[in-house]
Amino acid sequence: MDGMAPILHVADARASIEWYARLGFAVESEHTFGPDWPLYVRLRRGPAQLHLSEHRLDGGPVTHVYLYVEDVDSSIPAGAVAEDCPWGMREARLTDPDGNQVRVGSPLREAEPAAQA
């Protein structure tokens, strides 16, 4: 399987799982070396993957992730706002519980040509 997955450092993987579920991600696997050890979680949304890690050396203090979707407005949580951007994308900017920045975007649709009368 080819692909890439960003690793986001999180303080509470369980809380982050719930937050990313609102964006359509589901848990693919979880790992810990034992009780009281940090949790490592793989999430998937179609072909997109994210890894969440409670290990203190994984990820940076704040990571930025771009999630491409077919329709940004139907993919973001209620209350989030998307806007048309001059670079041809419609985007929403979200922040997860640990301060990681998640941009959700879809290409702007071309205007439909006016009907000929």
pLDDT digits (tens, 9 = 90+) for 27-78: 999 999 999 999 999 999 999 999 999 998 887 788 888 899 999 999 999 9
Beta strands per DSSP E along the chain: 7-9, 26-31, 40-45, 48-53, 64-68, 82-84, 89-95, 101-107
pLDDT at 37: 93
Residue 8 has pLDDT above 90, yes or no: yes
Q: Rounded to two decimals, what is the model's pTM?
A: 0.77
pLDDT at 115: 54
- Rounded to an integer, what distance in angstroms lies between the CA atom of residue 69 and that of residue 78? 16
Write the pLDDT tens digit of every residue in 78-109. Answer: 999 999 999 899 999 999 999 999 999 999 98
For 53, counting Cβ atoms within 10 Å of its Cβ (0-12 exposed, 13-18 middle, 19+ buried), the class is buried
What are 12's two structure tokens?
């509470």
Pick the residue with more confidence: 65 or 21? 21
pLDDT at 20: 97
